Amino acid sequence: MNRVVVLKGDITTLAVDAIVNAANAALCGGGGVDGAIHDAAGPDLLVECRTLGGCKPGYAKITAGYRLPAKYVIHAVGPVWDGGHNNEDELLASCYRESLRLARQHDVRSIAFPAISCGAYRFPLPRAAKIAVETIHDELTSFETLERVVLVAFDDTIERAFRRALQALTRPAAR
């Protein structure tokens, strides 16, 4: 997991090959990280997104980055938390897998992820961070060309959750 780092900051400013957008199903921009990415990328991002026909929860679609430092934006639609009774964990894990699948198809060497579904979609942060870290770890075993994964936190709470999840995965099991 030495290819995975946690960073507190603004995902729209990162010089990586791709950033992942915590998108809505319409891919039309919105609040939070989605709105920030659309604002920073400029109006051409929305124009391209409108040609994609939306996206279902658990899936992702890719566009150019336009005015962002990143070459690509991968729009992942996470699940809305409903108490954990509607396959939310699997849908969230699928967002990360699908984003990494698209990254592989486009020869992405570095990628940045926000905490998908943890804002307006109310996914419990510790649970979401664990799913993110474990899914990324599993996918990295067969994605040797991906050199760097950045888990981007916009505040201290998200940063702590990502760090705890990463430490729990890399800590040796107790005997």
Q: Which residues are catalytic?
A: 34
Dmax (CA) of the chain: 55
| Separation of alpha carbons 26 and 54, rounded Å | 5
User: Six-digit token pair at 97?
Assistant: 């897998």
Burial class (CB in 10 A: 0-12, 13-18, 19+), 141: exposed
User: Six-digit token pair at 9?
Assistant: 């900051």
| Separation of alpha carbons 130 and 127, rounded Å | 5
Work out whether strand 72-77 and strand 18-23 pair parallel, antiparallel, or are unpaired. parallel
Return the closest-CA partner of residue 121 out of 78, 60, 76: 78
| Separation of alpha carbons 128 and 140, rounded Å | 18
The DSSP call for residue 136 is H
